[in-house]
Structure 1
Amino acid sequence: MQHSELIHDWNTVHGAFDWSTRHGVQLNDETLRDGLQSPSVTDPCIDDKIKLLHLMDELGIASADIGLPGAGPRAVRDVEALAREIVTNRLGIQPNCAARTVRADIQPIVDVSQKVGIAIEAATFIGSSPIRQYAEDWTLERMLHATEDAVSFAVREGLPVMYVTEDTTRASPETVKALYTTAIECGARRICVCDTVGHATPHGVRQLIRFVLDEVVKPSGEDVKVDWHGHRDRGLAVTNCLAAIEEGAHRIHGTALGIGERCGNAEMDLLLVNLKLLGLHDWDVSRLNEYVTLASKACEVPLAYNWPVFGEDAFRTGTGVHAAAIIKAETKGDAWLADRIYSGVPAGWFGLHQVIEISPMSGISNVRYWLKAHGYGTDEALCAHVFEAAKTCDHTFSDDEVHAICRSYAGGVQPSAAAAD
C-alpha cells in the first residue's frame, strides 16, 4: 500500500491554504539577542554562541540577530566575534543587530561591519502603540523624526536596514502607516511587524500583515520585505507565525526553545519542525536536536519532558495499545510506518527514534519488546515476572529498574553480551 493511502490529511481538504505558494519564506534567529533578554537565562560563552551560529547555518536559517552592540563592550566583542566567524568560515547565514532608533546604537554596528568586512543589517526599533506613546510622552512627530534620522544615518553608513515597530499589534493603522512609510522613504528595505507582548490572535495577524502589504509596501513602489516577530504570552506564537506566512510575510523570527522576554518568542525549533512538515523547508534538519540541546545547556534552560519533538517523552511510550501498534509496524519491516503510527512528527527526520518502555499501562508486548531489545531473549516466564511487577508499580520503569527485576528472577537473569546496555 502507498504511504499516501495510509493517512487521510484533513489539513489539506477543501478550503485549506496552499502552502506550496509560500516557498521561499525565510527564518531569522533571535536566540543570541532577544532570547538572552529573558531574566532566567544565562548569556552563553562566545564558544557556545559560535557553535549555535554554525548549527543555525547548517539548519538553513537565513539570518541571525547576533546582538545589540549598543548595550556595552561585552556585546560589541561578541558581535564582532560572531560576524568574523561568518566571514572566516564563509557561512551562508546573514547577520543583523538590534538598535534603538538613535545614532549611538547604530554606530557600533557600523564600526563592526567596517572592521570585519561584512554587511550587518541594522534592526532599528521604536515603540508604536498608543499605550507606549502615552507612557513615554512621545508625539508621532517626534517618532517620525527619530525614524528619519536613524534610518538615514544607517543607510548613509552603508548598512541595510530592517525597520522594526515594537507593539505593532496594538498600534493604530495611521501610526503604523506613517512610521513604515517614513522608514521606507529613508531607505529601509525590510520592515518588521511585531507582536511584542503576545497580544495577537491569528485573525489579528492576518489583518495586520495584509494592511502593511496593501497600504504600505505596495504604494511605496519599492522592493520591501516584511518580517514577523511574535511573542508567546498567550501561547499562540507558532500559530501566529503560520498565519503571518499565509498572509505573505517574507521572514519569520524565533528563538531556540522560545526563550526571550517574559514568556519568550516563537520557538525556532518548532517553526523548523512545522515548516519541514509543510514542505516549506528543504534543508536537512537532523541536527535540530543538537541545536536544541546546546541552547538548553548553554543558556541553562531546562528542556521540559513533554516539549514537542525534543522533550524526553516526545517519542517515548509505556502504554500497551500504542506500543503494540508500533511493534506491529516494525514487524512489517516498514520504518516509515513505525515512525508515524502513533506520531504526527517522524522522529527519524530529527535523528531520533521511537522508544518503548514498561509502565503500569503496558501490555505484555511492551515487556517482550523491551526484553528482546536488551538481550534477554524470549523467555515467557521472565516476561510474566516483569509484567507482574509493572502492574504493581506506580511509574514507568527506568532501564536500571527492569534490569534489577530481571536479576531478581530465578537467581538472576543477565542480558546477552551482544545486547547488554
Structure 2
Amino acid sequence: MKTQIFIYDTTLRDGTQGEGVSLSVDDKLKIAKKLDQLGVHYIEGGWPGSNPKDMEFFLRAKELKLKHAKITAFGSTRRFGVTAEADANLNMILKSGVEAVAIFGKSWDFHVTEALGTTLEENLSMIYESVRFLKDKGLEVIYDAEHFFDGYKHNPEYAMVTIRKAMEAGADWLTLCDTNGGSLPHEISEIVARVCEEVGTKIGIHCHNDGELAVANSLAAVAAGATQVQGTINGLGERCGNANLISIIPNLQLKLGYACVSDEQLKQLTNTSRYVYEIANIVPQNTQPFVGQSAFAHKGGMHVSAILKDAETYEHIKPETVGNTRRVLVSELSGQSNLLFKAQELNIDLDKNKPEGRAIIQKVKELEYQGYQYEGAEASFELLVRKGLGDYEEVFTVESFKVLMEKIGEQDVVTEATVKVKVNGQTVHTVAEGNGPVNALDNALRKALEVFFPDLKEMYLTDYKVRVLSEHEATASKVRVLVESTKDGRDSWSTVGVSTNVIEASWEALLDSMRYALLGRHEEAVDIQLEEKERLGILNH
C-alpha cells in the first residue's frame, strides 16, 4: 500500500506575500474551490488576527461545499507576557470557526533572544501553552517550527526541545520549516531523519526557494520520513517563493510512488496551475516543469523522429497524466518528422515520400532565416503547409492598402486606413478609422470582408506583440508581429508577420488571421451586387 502524503497548500496566505501578488476575498474563494478539486488536504486561508479580509474569507469559506480539503487558519504562539486565554490572535483563530490551525513558534535561539526579546524558557512556555489552548478547544493543531533547520544547525539541542514542547502539548503535526530557504537537500534529509527517529508525532516540511532547492528539499524530507508537505501553487511566495506543489505532487506520486491525490485529480494539475496564474494576473511560465506550455514541446528534428516511434525517448512522463499536451514546434531546426507530426495534428494528409514535404521544410527554414517564427504562430504555419500542398484556395486577394495619420495641435492623432481587396471577382474598396494604424487596418479589412462573410463580426483580436529582431540596426530593424485571435473567447489562433516596417508586419499577421478564420469558406462567399455595395457605402472600381 502506498504511503499517503498530505498536501498542505498555503497559496492563499504565504503565496500572497510574493511581490506583485494580491488576491481579493472572491479570488481566494475561487482558488480554494479549485484546490479542493485538485485534492489537497489542507487549505491555509490566512491569518484571522492580522486583517479583516482574512477573517471575511474564513466566514465565507464556511459556505463552500468542499469534498477533500480542510480550511486551515494560520497564527503565532501567544505573545510574550500574555496568557494564551487572553491572547487576541489565538482568540481570533477560534472566532474564524476553522477545524484546523497552523501556529508557528521560534526554534532558533538567536530569534528568541534577538527577534522576540525574551528568554529561551519563556519561548518554550509560549509554544506549550498556545498548542495546549487550541487543542483544548478541539482544533487539529499543526505546529510550524519556524527557522527549524537554521536553529538546529546552530543549537540542535534547543531546536529539538522546542518541537518536543509542542508534541507534549498535543500537536497533531510538527512541521519543520526552512524559513530562510538556505538549506541543502542532504542537510534536510539528515535532520528530518533524526527528528522522525526521536519524536512520535507526524512530521511535515515547509521549504522556501531562496537556494532554488525548495522542491528538492521537500522531496528529501519526505524520503526521510515526513508525511505532510507545505507549499504553494506555482511556487508563489515571499522573496524567491515557496516550494512549488505543482512540481512536488507529480514527483512524489509518479516518480517516488507515494499517494498524494487520485490519478483523476492529478490530471487537473495543469489546469489548476494556469487557473491560479490567471486569478493572480500573472503570466504563466512556458518552461515550468510538468504544466508549462513548453514542458512537452519538441523542436529538434531527430527528437521528433524518435518521439514518433516512442514518446518515452524524450519525455519523462506522459503529458496527459498531469493534464498537459505534447507539442511539436516547427523551426529552422525542424526535420521531416516535425512536419509529419504537425500534419497529423492538423489532419492534413502528407506523404513523406513526395517532394512537397521537403519543399515545405526548406520554405520554413528560409522564412525563419528572414525572421519568421512558427512556434507561436501555428495558424500561419497551417496556411503555409496547405499552400505548399496545393490544399488551399485563396478566399480573398489584396490589391492595395494605405494608412494615413494626422495630428493637429494638441488634438488626438487621427488614423485612417484604406483597403482594396477582391472577393469572388468583385473588387471592394473600404475606408475606416481606428485608434492607431493597426486598428484602422483591421477595421477597414473587416468592413470589406464582413459583407461577404457576416460571421467574421464575431472574431476579435486578443493579443498583439511586436519583437525587434536586430537591435543594432535601431529604427531600421526588422520586427516580428504576433497576433492572436478568437471567435468564442475559448479557442484561439496565432499568426505572424515580419518586415522592417511594423505596419506591413502587422498587416501580414492580420491577413493570415482572417485567412485562417475563413479556411474552406471560398464557396460560401456571398455575391454582393452593385446596388447593395452602394447602399453599404462600398465603392466598386
Residue 293 of structure 1 aligns to which amino acid in structure 2?
Answer: R
Give the 3 Å change call, closer, same or farther, for CA 373–247 of structure 1 in structure 2: closer
Residue correspondence of structure 1 range 196-235 to structure 2 within 5 A: 196-215=179-198, 217-218=199-200, 224-235=201-212
Deviations 1:373-392 (A, max 9, x none): 32443264442332112223
**Which residue number in structure 2 is paired with residue 26 of structure 1?**
6
Decide which of 237, 240, 253 is 1:263's aligned counterpart: 240
**Which residue number in structure 2 is paired with residue 240 of structure 1?**
217
Deviations 1:25-76 (A, max 9, x none): 2111111111111122121x33443333233223332212121111111110
Residue 345 of structure 1 aligns to which amino acid in structure 2?
Answer: I
Decide which of 23, 26, 35 is 1:56's aligned counterpart: 35
Q: Give the structure with the higher percent helix.
A: 1
- Determine the C-alpha separation between the residues in 2 that align with 1:59 and 1:128: 32
C-alpha deviation, 1:90, in angstroms: 4.9
Is 1:148 the counterpart of 2:128? The answer is yes
- Determine the C-alpha separation between the residues in 2 that align with 1:146 and 1:154: 12
C-alpha deviation, 1:324, in angstroms: 1.0
Residue 161 of structure 1 aligns to which amino acid in structure 2?
Answer: V
* Equivalent residues of 1:198, 1:230 under 8 A apart: yes
Decide which of 353, 365, 373 is 1:391's aligned counterpart: 365
Residue 15 of structure 2 aligns to which amino acid in structure 1?
Answer: G
Residue 316 of structure 2 aligns to which amino acid in structure 1?
Answer: G
Is 1:371 the counterpart of 2:343? The answer is yes
Is 1:343 the counterpart of 2:315? The answer is yes
**Which residue number in structure 1 is paired with residue 412 of structure 2?**
none
Structure 1 unaligned spans of 5+: 1-19, 219-223, 330-337
RMSD of Structure 2 on Structure 1 (CA):
2.4
Q: Give the structure with the higher percent strand.
A: 2
SS state at 2:71 partner: strand
C-alpha deviation, 1:372, in angstroms: 4.4
- Determine the C-alpha separation between the residues in 1 that align with 2:348 and 2:190: 60
Deviations 1:318-362 (A, max 9, x none): 210111112234xxxxxxxx3x23100210112332212211111
Deviations 1:59-111 (A, max 9, x none): 332212121111111110012222431xxx25221222110112222212211
**Which residue number in structure 1 is paired with residue 289 of structure 2?**
308
SS state at 1:96 partner: strand
Is 1:249 the counterpart of 2:238? The answer is no
**Which residue number in structure 2 is paired with residue 176 of structure 1?**
159
**Which residue number in structure 2 is paired with residue 335 of structure 1?**
none
Is 1:39 the counterpart of 2:19? The answer is yes
Deviations 1:199-223 (A, max 9, x none): 21122112221232233x24xxxxx
Q: TM-score, normalised by structure 2?
A: 0.65
C-alpha deviation, 1:130, in angstroms: 3.8
**Which residue number in structure 2 is paired with residue 400 of structure 1?**
379
Give the 3 Å change call, closer, same or farther, for CA 46–73 of structure 1 in structure 2: closer
Decide which of 392, 404, 420 is 1:413's aligned counterpart: 392
Q: Sequence identity of aligned pairs in percent? A: 27
Structure with greater Cα Rg:
2
- Determine the C-alpha separation between the residues in 2 that align with 1:382 and 1:417: 21
- Determine the C-alpha separation between the residues in 1 that align with 2:348 and 2:101: 61
SS state at 1:182 partner: helix
- Determine the C-alpha separation between the residues in 2 that align with 1:209 and 1:84: 38
* Equivalent residues of 2:77, 2:105 under 8 A apart: yes
- Determine the C-alpha separation between the residues in 2 that align with 1:387 and 1:410: 12
SS state at 1:194 partner: strand
Higher RCO, 1 vs 2 (CA within 8 Å, ≥6 residues apart): 1
* Equivalent residues of 1:42, 1:298 under 8 A apart: no
**Which residue number in structure 1 is paired with residue 93 of structure 2?**
109
Residue 180 of structure 2 aligns to which amino acid in structure 1?
Answer: V
C-alpha deviation, 1:408, in angstroms: 5.9
Q: TM-score, normalised by structure 1?
A: 0.82
Give the 3 Å change call, closer, same or farther, for CA 158–235 of structure 1 in structure 2: same
- Determine the C-alpha separation between the residues in 1 that align with 2:73 and 2:309: 52
* Equivalent residues of 1:106, 1:122 under 8 A apart: no
**Which residue number in structure 1 is paired with residue 303 of structure 2?**
322
Structure 2 unaligned spans of 5+: 79-86, 394-515, 522-541
Is 1:92 the counterpart of 2:68? The answer is yes
**Which residue number in structure 2 is paired with residue 362 of structure 1?**
334
Give the 3 Å change call, closer, same or farther, for CA 327–179 of structure 1 in structure 2: same
C-alpha deviation, 1:409, in angstroms: 4.7
- Determine the C-alpha separation between the residues in 2 that align with 1:412 and 1:181: 74
Give the 3 Å change call, closer, same or farther, for CA 389–141 of structure 1 in structure 2: same
- Determine the C-alpha separation between the residues in 2 that align with 1:396 and 1:132: 54
C-alpha deviation, 1:241, in angstroms: 1.2
* Equivalent residues of 2:33, 2:66 under 8 A apart: no
* Equivalent residues of 1:382, 1:406 under 8 A apart: no
- Determine the C-alpha separation between the residues in 1 that align with 2:325 and 2:195: 43
- Determine the C-alpha separation between the residues in 1 that align with 2:326 and 2:7: 29
C-alpha deviation, 1:141, in angstroms: 1.9
Is 1:67 the counterpart of 2:46? The answer is yes
